[in-house]
Amino acid sequence: MRRRERLRVVANEAVGPYSLIRVERGGLEPGVPGQFFMLEAPGRLLPRPMSLCQAPPGELSFLLEAIGPGTRALAAVEPGDELHVFGPLGNGYRLDVQKPLLVGGGIGAAPFPYLSEQLGGPPAILGFRSDWHAEAAALVPNAEVVVEPTLVTEPLTDLVTDCYKVFACGPEPMLAAVRELAPDAQLAWEAPMACGYGACYGCSVEIDGVLQRLCVAGPVLEAA
Amino acid sequence: MILNASGSLDALEAPEVARALDVFVTKTVTPQRREGNRPVRIAETEAGMLNSIGLENPGIDGLLDDKLPRLAELGVPLWVSVGGFAANDYAQLCAALDDRREVTAIELNLSCPNVEEAPESAAELVAAARPQTGKPLFAKLSPAATDLPATARAVQNAGADGLSLVNTIRGLALDDKTLQPRLGHELGGYSGPALKPIALAAVYQCYRATGLPIVGMGGIATGRDALDFLAAGASSIALGTVLFADPEAPGRVRRELADELAARGLSGAEDATGLAHGVKPASVA
Protein backbone atom coordinates (compact mmCIF):
# COMPACT_ATOMS: atom_id res chain seq x y z
CA MET A 1 0.00 0.00 0.00
CA ARG A 2 1.41 3.37 -0.98
CA ARG A 3 2.08 5.95 1.72
CA ARG A 4 3.66 9.37 1.88
CA GLU A 5 5.97 10.18 4.77
CA ARG A 6 8.72 12.59 5.64
CA LEU A 7 11.84 10.45 5.96
CA ARG A 8 15.27 11.28 7.33
CA VAL A 9 18.28 10.97 5.05
CA VAL A 10 20.75 8.47 6.50
CA ALA A 11 23.52 8.85 3.93
CA ASN A 12 24.35 10.24 0.51
CA GLU A 13 27.12 8.14 -1.00
CA ALA A 14 28.94 8.69 -4.29
CA VAL A 15 28.94 5.67 -6.62
CA GLY A 16 31.05 6.79 -9.58
CA PRO A 17 29.15 9.85 -10.90
CA TYR A 18 25.91 8.68 -9.30
CA SER A 19 24.47 9.39 -5.84
CA LEU A 20 23.09 6.66 -3.60
CA ILE A 21 20.56 8.37 -1.31
CA ARG A 22 19.72 6.26 1.74
CA VAL A 23 16.67 7.22 3.80
CA GLU A 24 15.01 5.74 6.86
CA ARG A 25 12.18 3.48 5.77
CA GLY A 26 9.55 4.80 8.21
CA GLY A 27 6.21 3.11 7.53
CA LEU A 28 6.79 2.71 3.81
CA GLU A 29 6.86 -0.69 2.17
CA PRO A 30 9.64 -1.40 -0.34
CA GLY A 31 7.18 -2.86 -2.85
CA VAL A 32 8.09 -4.98 -5.84
CA PRO A 33 11.38 -4.37 -7.71
CA GLY A 34 10.75 -1.96 -10.56
CA GLN A 35 8.13 0.01 -8.64
CA PHE A 36 9.08 3.58 -7.88
CA PHE A 37 8.77 6.33 -5.31
CA MET A 38 8.24 10.07 -5.69
CA LEU A 39 11.06 11.86 -3.86
CA GLU A 40 10.72 15.46 -2.83
CA ALA A 41 13.41 17.47 -4.63
CA PRO A 42 14.33 20.19 -2.12
CA GLY A 43 13.40 23.64 -3.38
CA ARG A 44 11.60 22.37 -6.48
CA LEU A 45 7.87 22.42 -7.22
CA LEU A 46 7.59 18.77 -8.24
CA PRO A 47 8.96 15.55 -6.77
CA ARG A 48 11.02 13.17 -8.91
CA PRO A 49 10.29 9.50 -9.65
CA MET A 50 13.01 7.06 -8.55
CA SER A 51 12.93 3.28 -8.63
CA LEU A 52 13.98 1.58 -5.43
CA CYS A 53 17.64 0.53 -5.55
CA GLN A 54 18.08 -1.32 -2.27
CA ALA A 55 15.89 -2.23 0.68
CA PRO A 56 18.18 -3.01 3.61
CA PRO A 57 16.45 -3.40 7.00
CA GLY A 58 14.95 -0.10 8.12
CA GLU A 59 16.06 1.76 4.99
CA LEU A 60 15.20 2.53 1.40
CA SER A 61 17.87 3.64 -1.03
CA PHE A 62 17.75 5.33 -4.41
CA LEU A 63 20.49 5.61 -7.03
CA LEU A 64 20.26 8.76 -9.11
CA GLU A 65 22.18 10.74 -11.67
CA ALA A 66 22.21 14.54 -11.33
CA ILE A 67 21.10 15.62 -14.79
CA GLY A 68 18.66 18.46 -14.08
CA PRO A 69 17.55 20.84 -11.34
CA GLY A 70 15.53 18.22 -9.47
CA THR A 71 18.11 15.46 -9.46
CA ARG A 72 20.85 18.01 -8.66
CA ALA A 73 18.84 19.11 -5.61
CA LEU A 74 18.44 15.49 -4.56
CA ALA A 75 22.13 14.76 -5.12
CA ALA A 76 22.94 17.58 -2.68
CA VAL A 77 20.96 16.23 0.29
CA GLU A 78 22.90 15.56 3.48
CA PRO A 79 22.43 13.11 6.34
CA GLY A 80 19.82 14.49 8.70
CA ASP A 81 17.85 16.24 5.96
CA GLU A 82 14.24 15.15 5.64
CA LEU A 83 12.41 14.36 2.39
CA HIS A 84 8.81 13.56 1.60
CA VAL A 85 8.75 10.14 -0.03
CA PHE A 86 5.59 8.66 -1.62
CA GLY A 87 5.27 5.08 -2.73
CA PRO A 88 5.64 2.37 -3.76
CA LEU A 89 3.95 3.32 -7.04
CA GLY A 90 3.26 1.73 -10.40
CA ASN A 91 3.78 -1.84 -11.53
CA GLY A 92 7.08 -3.59 -10.95
CA TYR A 93 8.66 -6.62 -12.57
CA ARG A 94 6.95 -10.00 -12.62
CA LEU A 95 9.34 -12.23 -10.72
CA ASP A 96 7.93 -15.71 -11.43
CA VAL A 97 10.18 -16.57 -14.37
CA GLN A 98 12.79 -19.23 -15.00
CA LYS A 99 16.36 -18.18 -15.89
CA PRO A 100 16.14 -14.40 -15.33
CA LEU A 101 18.73 -12.13 -16.92
CA LEU A 102 19.05 -8.44 -16.02
CA VAL A 103 20.02 -5.99 -18.77
CA GLY A 104 20.67 -2.37 -17.84
CA GLY A 105 22.11 0.76 -19.38
CA GLY A 106 23.62 3.57 -17.31
CA ILE A 107 21.39 4.76 -14.48
CA GLY A 108 18.98 2.06 -15.68
CA ALA A 109 20.92 -0.21 -13.33
CA ALA A 110 19.22 1.59 -10.42
CA PRO A 111 16.45 -0.98 -9.71
CA PHE A 112 18.74 -4.00 -10.20
CA PRO A 113 20.36 -4.36 -6.75
CA TYR A 114 16.92 -4.93 -5.17
CA LEU A 115 15.70 -6.95 -8.16
CA SER A 116 18.80 -9.13 -8.09
CA GLU A 117 18.35 -9.77 -4.37
CA GLN A 118 14.71 -10.80 -4.89
CA LEU A 119 15.65 -13.11 -7.77
CA GLY A 120 18.56 -14.76 -5.95
CA GLY A 121 21.43 -13.09 -7.79
CA PRO A 122 20.82 -13.93 -11.47
CA PRO A 123 23.34 -12.98 -14.18
CA ALA A 124 23.29 -9.36 -15.34
CA ILE A 125 24.66 -7.38 -18.28
CA LEU A 126 25.30 -3.73 -17.55
CA GLY A 127 26.42 -1.12 -20.05
CA PHE A 128 27.96 2.22 -19.16
CA ARG A 129 29.43 5.16 -21.03
CA SER A 130 32.71 5.15 -19.06
CA ASP A 131 34.68 3.17 -16.48
CA TRP A 132 33.73 5.82 -13.94
CA HIS A 133 30.01 5.26 -14.56
CA ALA A 134 30.64 1.52 -14.46
CA GLU A 135 31.50 1.76 -10.76
CA ALA A 136 27.74 1.37 -10.20
CA ALA A 137 28.06 -2.24 -11.37
CA ALA A 138 29.55 -3.06 -7.97
CA LEU A 139 26.00 -2.81 -6.56
CA VAL A 140 24.77 -5.67 -8.77
CA PRO A 141 26.05 -9.24 -8.20
CA ASN A 142 27.08 -11.43 -11.15
CA ALA A 143 27.25 -8.51 -13.54
CA GLU A 144 29.10 -8.58 -16.84
CA VAL A 145 30.07 -4.99 -17.61
CA VAL A 146 30.49 -3.45 -21.04
CA VAL A 147 31.65 0.10 -21.65
CA GLU A 148 30.93 2.17 -24.76
CA PRO A 149 31.48 1.71 -27.64
CA THR A 150 30.52 -1.86 -26.71
CA LEU A 151 26.75 -2.15 -26.18
CA VAL A 152 24.78 -4.54 -23.98
CA THR A 153 23.30 -6.14 -27.08
CA GLU A 154 26.65 -7.81 -27.89
CA PRO A 155 26.76 -10.18 -24.90
CA LEU A 156 22.96 -10.34 -24.89
CA THR A 157 22.88 -11.78 -28.40
CA ASP A 158 24.72 -14.87 -27.17
CA LEU A 159 22.59 -15.32 -24.05
CA VAL A 160 19.00 -14.89 -25.24
CA THR A 161 19.29 -18.03 -27.30
CA ASP A 162 19.75 -19.90 -24.01
CA CYS A 163 16.13 -19.28 -22.96
CA TYR A 164 16.98 -16.49 -20.56
CA LYS A 165 14.07 -14.19 -19.66
CA VAL A 166 15.18 -10.58 -19.82
CA PHE A 167 14.45 -7.84 -17.26
CA ALA A 168 15.60 -4.56 -18.83
CA CYS A 169 15.94 -0.96 -17.70
CA GLY A 170 17.73 1.80 -19.57
CA PRO A 171 17.43 4.44 -22.26
CA GLU A 172 14.76 3.95 -24.93
CA PRO A 173 17.17 3.01 -27.77
CA MET A 174 18.54 0.25 -25.54
CA LEU A 175 15.04 -0.98 -24.69
CA ALA A 176 14.17 -1.03 -28.38
CA ALA A 177 17.30 -3.05 -29.17
CA VAL A 178 16.62 -5.47 -26.31
CA ARG A 179 13.08 -6.00 -27.59
CA GLU A 180 14.44 -7.00 -30.98
CA LEU A 181 16.53 -9.72 -29.39
CA ALA A 182 14.17 -10.73 -26.59
CA PRO A 183 10.55 -10.13 -27.64
CA ASP A 184 9.16 -11.29 -24.29
CA ALA A 185 11.41 -9.04 -22.19
CA GLN A 186 10.00 -7.01 -19.30
CA LEU A 187 11.01 -3.41 -19.94
CA ALA A 188 11.11 -0.58 -17.39
CA TRP A 189 10.37 2.72 -19.13
CA GLU A 190 11.02 6.27 -18.07
CA ALA A 191 9.23 9.60 -18.64
CA PRO A 192 8.98 13.00 -16.98
CA MET A 193 6.37 12.61 -14.28
CA ALA A 194 4.70 15.23 -12.09
CA CYS A 195 2.66 13.12 -9.68
CA GLY A 196 3.39 9.39 -9.99
CA TYR A 197 -0.20 8.36 -9.18
CA GLY A 198 -2.22 8.96 -12.33
CA ALA A 199 -3.31 12.53 -11.61
CA CYS A 200 -1.38 14.62 -14.11
CA TYR A 201 -1.53 12.60 -17.35
CA GLY A 202 1.98 13.94 -17.95
CA CYS A 203 3.97 10.70 -18.19
CA SER A 204 2.27 9.19 -21.21
CA VAL A 205 4.62 7.40 -23.54
CA GLU A 206 3.84 6.10 -26.99
CA ILE A 207 4.42 2.37 -27.16
CA ASP A 208 3.40 0.59 -30.35
CA GLY A 209 1.27 3.56 -31.35
CA VAL A 210 -0.68 3.67 -28.09
CA LEU A 211 -0.26 6.37 -25.46
CA GLN A 212 -0.06 4.95 -21.96
CA ARG A 213 0.28 6.67 -18.60
CA LEU A 214 3.52 5.17 -17.44
CA CYS A 215 2.87 5.68 -13.73
CA VAL A 216 -0.24 3.49 -13.68
CA ALA A 217 0.28 1.18 -16.70
CA GLY A 218 4.02 0.79 -15.98
CA PRO A 219 6.76 1.66 -15.48
CA VAL A 220 7.45 -2.01 -16.23
CA LEU A 221 5.69 -3.17 -19.38
CA GLU A 222 5.93 -6.52 -21.07
CA ALA A 223 7.32 -6.34 -24.55
CA ALA A 224 5.45 -8.21 -27.29
CA MET B 1 -15.70 24.04 -0.37
CA ILE B 2 -12.48 22.53 -1.65
CA LEU B 3 -12.50 21.11 -5.18
CA ASN B 4 -9.79 19.86 -7.50
CA ALA B 5 -8.97 21.81 -10.60
CA SER B 6 -10.21 19.88 -13.63
CA GLY B 7 -7.48 17.64 -15.01
CA SER B 8 -5.36 17.51 -11.88
CA LEU B 9 -6.71 14.31 -10.34
CA ASP B 10 -7.91 10.91 -11.52
CA ALA B 11 -10.42 9.98 -8.81
CA LEU B 12 -10.55 6.36 -9.94
CA GLU B 13 -6.79 5.97 -9.53
CA ALA B 14 -6.70 7.89 -6.23
CA PRO B 15 -10.10 7.56 -4.53
CA GLU B 16 -8.64 8.48 -1.15
CA VAL B 17 -7.58 11.87 -2.53
CA ALA B 18 -10.97 12.49 -4.16
CA ARG B 19 -12.80 11.62 -0.95
CA ALA B 20 -10.86 14.35 0.87
CA LEU B 21 -12.49 16.91 -1.47
CA ASP B 22 -15.96 18.44 -1.19
CA VAL B 23 -16.45 18.08 -4.93
CA PHE B 24 -14.57 16.10 -7.56
CA VAL B 25 -14.32 17.80 -10.94
CA THR B 26 -13.65 15.45 -13.86
CA LYS B 27 -11.04 15.95 -16.50
CA THR B 28 -12.60 17.82 -19.41
CA VAL B 29 -14.75 15.58 -21.58
CA THR B 30 -15.27 16.29 -25.28
CA PRO B 31 -17.90 14.86 -27.66
CA GLN B 32 -15.41 12.42 -29.18
CA ARG B 33 -12.65 10.44 -27.50
CA ARG B 34 -9.27 12.19 -27.61
CA GLU B 35 -5.90 10.55 -27.19
CA GLY B 36 -4.25 13.84 -26.21
CA ASN B 37 -0.99 15.37 -27.29
CA ARG B 38 2.26 13.57 -28.07
CA PRO B 39 4.86 13.42 -25.30
CA VAL B 40 6.68 15.26 -23.77
CA ARG B 41 3.66 16.59 -21.90
CA ILE B 42 5.02 18.30 -18.79
CA ALA B 43 7.95 20.52 -17.90
CA GLU B 44 8.81 21.97 -14.53
CA THR B 45 10.02 25.56 -14.70
CA GLU B 46 11.48 27.91 -12.12
CA ALA B 47 8.17 29.04 -10.62
CA GLY B 48 5.60 26.60 -11.92
CA MET B 49 5.05 23.92 -14.51
CA LEU B 50 3.82 23.61 -18.07
CA ASN B 51 1.49 20.90 -19.28
CA SER B 52 0.21 20.04 -22.71
CA ILE B 53 -1.99 17.02 -22.14
CA GLY B 54 -4.37 18.12 -24.89
CA LEU B 55 -7.72 17.12 -23.38
CA GLU B 56 -7.06 13.38 -23.31
CA ASN B 57 -10.45 11.87 -22.44
CA PRO B 58 -12.72 8.92 -23.28
CA GLY B 59 -15.36 11.09 -24.99
CA ILE B 60 -18.85 11.72 -23.61
CA ASP B 61 -20.04 8.17 -24.30
CA GLY B 62 -17.06 6.70 -22.47
CA LEU B 63 -17.70 8.98 -19.54
CA LEU B 64 -21.42 8.25 -19.34
CA ASP B 65 -21.19 4.50 -19.86
CA ASP B 66 -18.05 3.66 -17.96
CA LYS B 67 -16.57 6.34 -15.75
CA LEU B 68 -19.57 8.17 -14.32
CA PRO B 69 -21.12 5.15 -12.59
CA ARG B 70 -17.76 4.30 -11.03
CA LEU B 71 -17.14 7.91 -9.98
CA ALA B 72 -20.58 8.04 -8.36
CA GLU B 73 -19.58 5.14 -6.12
CA LEU B 74 -16.96 7.37 -4.49
CA GLY B 75 -19.70 9.22 -2.66
CA VAL B 76 -18.24 12.63 -3.54
CA PRO B 77 -20.40 15.20 -5.37
CA LEU B 78 -19.36 15.31 -9.03
CA TRP B 79 -18.93 18.18 -11.41
CA VAL B 80 -18.25 17.32 -15.02
CA SER B 81 -15.96 19.59 -17.02
CA VAL B 82 -16.96 19.80 -20.68
CA GLY B 83 -15.04 21.21 -23.62
CA GLY B 84 -15.38 21.41 -27.35
CA PHE B 85 -14.55 23.18 -30.56
CA ALA B 86 -17.86 24.82 -31.41
CA ALA B 87 -20.98 26.02 -29.62
CA ASN B 88 -22.86 22.90 -30.67
CA ASP B 89 -20.33 20.72 -28.83
CA TYR B 90 -21.12 22.46 -25.54
CA ALA B 91 -24.86 22.19 -26.20
CA GLN B 92 -24.61 18.50 -27.02
CA LEU B 93 -22.48 17.73 -23.95
CA CYS B 94 -24.77 19.57 -21.56
CA ALA B 95 -27.82 17.88 -23.04
CA ALA B 96 -26.17 14.48 -22.56
CA LEU B 97 -25.39 15.22 -18.91
CA ASP B 98 -28.67 16.87 -17.99
CA ASP B 99 -30.53 13.76 -16.88
CA ARG B 100 -27.59 12.17 -15.08
CA ARG B 101 -28.32 12.32 -11.39
CA GLU B 102 -24.67 11.64 -10.53
CA VAL B 103 -23.74 15.10 -11.83
CA THR B 104 -24.18 18.06 -9.48
CA ALA B 105 -22.93 20.80 -11.80
CA ILE B 106 -21.23 21.32 -15.14
CA GLU B 107 -18.07 23.31 -15.68
CA LEU B 108 -17.69 24.77 -19.15
CA ASN B 109 -14.01 24.70 -20.09
CA LEU B 110 -13.96 27.74 -22.35
CA SER B 111 -10.23 28.22 -22.23
CA CYS B 112 -7.99 25.17 -22.66
CA PRO B 113 -4.61 26.58 -23.69
CA ASN B 114 -3.58 23.30 -25.33
CA VAL B 115 -6.14 23.08 -28.09
CA GLU B 116 -7.24 25.52 -30.69
CA GLU B 117 -9.83 27.81 -29.18
CA ALA B 118 -13.42 27.49 -30.20
CA PRO B 119 -14.02 30.40 -32.54
CA GLU B 120 -17.12 31.58 -30.73
CA SER B 121 -16.86 33.93 -27.78
CA ALA B 122 -17.19 32.53 -24.28
CA ALA B 123 -20.65 34.08 -23.96
CA GLU B 124 -21.90 32.38 -27.13
CA LEU B 125 -20.71 29.01 -25.83
CA VAL B 126 -22.52 29.57 -22.52
CA ALA B 127 -25.63 30.69 -24.37
CA ALA B 128 -25.56 27.48 -26.41
CA ALA B 129 -25.19 25.32 -23.31
CA ARG B 130 -27.73 27.08 -21.11
CA PRO B 131 -31.02 25.85 -22.64
CA GLN B 132 -29.78 22.25 -22.61
CA THR B 133 -29.60 21.77 -18.87
CA GLY B 134 -31.03 22.90 -15.57
CA LYS B 135 -27.81 22.01 -13.78
CA PRO B 136 -25.65 24.85 -12.47
CA LEU B 137 -23.16 26.00 -15.12
CA PHE B 138 -19.75 27.27 -14.09
CA ALA B 139 -17.79 29.05 -16.81
CA LYS B 140 -14.03 28.43 -16.61
CA LEU B 141 -12.21 31.40 -18.04
CA SER B 142 -8.66 32.17 -19.04
CA PRO B 143 -6.88 35.01 -17.27
CA ALA B 144 -5.48 35.99 -20.68
CA ALA B 145 -8.70 37.69 -21.82
CA THR B 146 -8.18 41.30 -22.80
CA ASP B 147 -11.04 42.47 -20.61
CA LEU B 148 -11.79 39.66 -18.20
CA PRO B 149 -14.49 41.50 -16.18
CA ALA B 150 -16.35 42.19 -19.44
CA THR B 151 -16.09 38.52 -20.42
CA ALA B 152 -17.34 37.54 -16.97
CA ARG B 153 -20.33 39.86 -17.29
CA ALA B 154 -21.07 38.50 -20.74
CA VAL B 155 -21.10 34.86 -19.59
CA GLN B 156 -23.26 35.90 -16.63
CA ASN B 157 -25.75 37.50 -18.99
CA ALA B 158 -25.65 34.34 -21.12
CA GLY B 159 -26.79 32.30 -18.16
CA ALA B 160 -23.71 31.13 -16.24
CA ASP B 161 -24.42 30.41 -12.57
CA GLY B 162 -20.82 30.78 -11.47
CA LEU B 163 -17.23 31.24 -12.57
CA SER B 164 -14.17 29.00 -12.29
CA LEU B 165 -11.13 31.25 -12.19
CA VAL B 166 -8.63 30.64 -13.62
CA ASN B 167 -7.47 28.19 -16.22
CA THR B 168 -3.74 27.86 -16.93
CA ILE B 169 -2.07 30.52 -19.03
CA ARG B 170 -0.10 29.73 -22.17
CA GLY B 171 3.66 29.32 -21.71
CA LEU B 172 6.83 28.00 -23.29
CA ALA B 173 9.98 26.39 -21.93
CA LEU B 174 13.13 25.66 -23.91
CA ASP B 175 15.62 22.87 -23.43
CA ASP B 176 18.88 24.02 -21.83
CA LYS B 177 21.11 22.41 -24.43
CA THR B 178 19.14 22.37 -27.65
CA LEU B 179 17.04 25.54 -27.19
CA GLN B 180 14.13 23.59 -28.61
CA PRO B 181 10.68 23.52 -26.94
CA ARG B 182 10.70 21.03 -24.09
CA LEU B 183 7.08 20.01 -24.72
CA GLY B 184 6.09 17.87 -27.68
CA HIS B 185 3.25 20.30 -28.41
CA GLU B 186 5.67 23.23 -27.99
CA LEU B 187 3.36 25.51 -25.97
CA GLY B 188 1.65 24.46 -22.77
CA GLY B 189 -0.53 25.68 -19.95
CA TYR B 190 1.37 27.31 -17.12
CA SER B 191 0.30 26.53 -13.55
CA GLY B 192 1.65 26.57 -10.03
CA PRO B 193 2.81 29.32 -7.66
CA ALA B 194 3.52 31.89 -10.39
CA LEU B 195 -0.14 31.82 -11.42
CA LYS B 196 -1.44 32.89 -8.01
CA PRO B 197 -1.26 36.71 -8.30
CA ILE B 198 -2.72 36.52 -11.81
CA ALA B 199 -5.57 34.32 -10.59
CA LEU B 200 -6.19 36.49 -7.54
CA ALA B 201 -6.55 39.55 -9.76
CA ALA B 202 -9.03 37.68 -11.94
CA VAL B 203 -11.12 36.63 -8.93
CA TYR B 204 -10.97 40.13 -7.45
CA GLN B 205 -12.09 41.82 -10.66
CA CYS B 206 -14.78 39.29 -11.60
CA TYR B 207 -16.27 39.33 -8.10
CA ARG B 208 -16.75 43.06 -8.44
CA ALA B 209 -18.03 42.76 -11.99
CA THR B 210 -20.57 39.98 -11.45
CA GLY B 211 -21.13 38.98 -7.85
CA LEU B 212 -21.38 35.39 -9.10
CA PRO B 213 -20.16 32.48 -6.99
CA ILE B 214 -16.50 31.93 -7.89
CA VAL B 215 -14.33 28.83 -7.61
CA GLY B 216 -10.89 30.35 -7.19
CA MET B 217 -7.80 28.46 -8.33
CA GLY B 218 -4.26 29.10 -9.51
CA GLY B 219 -1.22 28.28 -7.39
CA ILE B 220 -3.07 27.46 -4.17
CA ALA B 221 -0.76 25.35 -2.02
CA THR B 222 -1.55 26.41 1.55
CA GLY B 223 -4.43 27.50 3.74
CA ARG B 224 -3.14 31.04 3.53
CA ASP B 225 -3.32 30.91 -0.26
CA ALA B 226 -6.90 29.68 0.04
CA LEU B 227 -7.76 32.53 2.40
CA ASP B 228 -6.40 35.04 -0.10
CA PHE B 229 -8.73 33.67 -2.78
CA LEU B 230 -11.73 33.85 -0.46
CA ALA B 231 -10.86 37.42 0.50
CA ALA B 232 -10.55 38.36 -3.18
CA GLY B 233 -14.07 37.09 -3.75
CA ALA B 234 -14.02 33.31 -4.21
CA SER B 235 -16.67 31.29 -2.40
CA SER B 236 -14.85 27.98 -3.01
CA ILE B 237 -11.29 27.08 -3.92
CA ALA B 238 -9.74 24.39 -6.10
CA LEU B 239 -6.39 22.65 -5.87
CA GLY B 240 -4.43 21.82 -9.00
CA THR B 241 -0.67 21.55 -9.34
CA VAL B 242 -0.17 21.12 -5.58
CA LEU B 243 -1.93 17.74 -5.82
CA PHE B 244 0.92 16.42 -7.94
CA ALA B 245 3.50 17.01 -5.22
CA ASP B 246 1.20 16.43 -2.26
CA PRO B 247 -1.76 14.08 -2.59
CA GLU B 248 -2.65 14.94 1.01
CA ALA B 249 -3.10 18.62 0.13
CA PRO B 250 -6.93 18.63 0.41
CA GLY B 251 -6.89 17.69 4.09
CA ARG B 252 -3.86 19.83 4.86
CA VAL B 253 -5.18 22.95 3.14
CA ARG B 254 -8.55 22.46 4.85
CA ARG B 255 -6.87 22.33 8.28
CA GLU B 256 -4.63 25.28 7.52
CA LEU B 257 -7.56 27.34 6.25
CA ALA B 258 -9.57 26.59 9.38
CA ASP B 259 -6.61 27.81 11.46
CA GLU B 260 -6.28 30.96 9.34
CA LEU B 261 -9.99 31.74 9.70
CA ALA B 262 -9.97 31.07 13.44
CA ALA B 263 -6.90 33.25 13.95
CA ARG B 264 -8.85 36.13 12.41
CA GLY B 265 -12.00 35.50 14.36
CA LEU B 266 -13.90 34.38 11.27
CA SER B 267 -16.45 31.65 11.82
CA GLY B 268 -16.32 30.18 8.32
CA ALA B 269 -15.20 30.54 4.75
CA GLU B 270 -18.35 32.49 3.86
CA ASP B 271 -17.32 35.21 6.31
CA ALA B 272 -14.02 35.62 4.48
CA THR B 273 -15.42 35.89 0.96
CA GLY B 274 -14.90 39.38 -0.44
CA LEU B 275 -13.03 40.79 2.56
CA ALA B 276 -10.34 42.27 0.33
CA HIS B 277 -12.94 44.63 -1.10
CA GLY B 278 -13.56 46.36 2.20
CA VAL B 279 -17.25 46.95 1.72
CA LYS B 280 -18.88 44.14 -0.20
CA PRO B 281 -20.13 45.26 -3.60
CA ALA B 282 -23.84 46.03 -3.78
CA SER B 283 -24.40 43.17 -6.21
CA VAL B 284 -23.59 40.60 -3.52
CA ALA B 285 -24.69 42.47 -0.40
Concerning whether B206 is annotated as a catalytic residue, the answer is no
Residue at B146: amino acid letter: T
Looking at per-residue confidence, does B124 or B120 come out higher? B124
What's the residue count for chain B? 285
CATH number of A3-88: 2.40.30.10
User: Hey, are the CB atoms on A45 and B56 less than 8 Å from each other?
Assistant: no
Give the list of residues 6+ apart from residue A67 with CB closer than 8 angstroms, or none.
Answer: none
**Rounded mean pLDDT, B173-188:** 96
Is the minimum CB–CB distance between A212 and chain B shorter than 8 Å? no
Q: What's the pLDDT score for residue B115?
A: 61
CB B26 within 8 A of CB B79: yes
Q: Tell me the whole-structure pTM to 2 decimals.
A: 0.94
Chain A residues lying within 8 Å of B192, measured CB to CB: 45
| Residue B265, phi-psi category: left (phi > 0), alpha (psi -120 to 50), beta (remainder) | left
Q: Which of residues 29-48 of A touch B (CB under 8 A)?
A: 40, 44-47
pLDDT of residue B132 exceeding 70: yes
- Complete domains list, chain B, with CATH: 2-284 (3.20.20.70)
Mind listing the pLDDT tens digit for each residue in B58-96?
999 999 999 999 999 999 999 999 999 999 999 999 999
Mutate to test the interface with A, among B28, B42, B114 (most CBs of A within 10 A): B42
A-B Cβ pairs (cutoff 8 Å, strict): 89
What is the domain partition of chain A in residue ranges? 3-88
Mind listing the pLDDT tens digit for each residue in B207-240?
999 999 999 999 999 999 999 999 999 999 999 9
Q: What percent of chain B has pLDDT over 90?
A: 92
| Confidence band of B285 (pLDDT split at 50, 70, 90) | very low
Q: What's the pLDDT score for residue A28?
A: 98
Mind listing the pLDDT tens digit for each residue in B25-43?
999 999 999 999 999 999 9
Give the list of residues 6+ apart from residue A120 with CB closer than 8 angstroms, or none.
Answer: none
Q: What's the pLDDT score for residue A154?
A: 85
CB B97 within 8 A of CB B134: no
pLDDT beneath 50: ranges in chain A = none
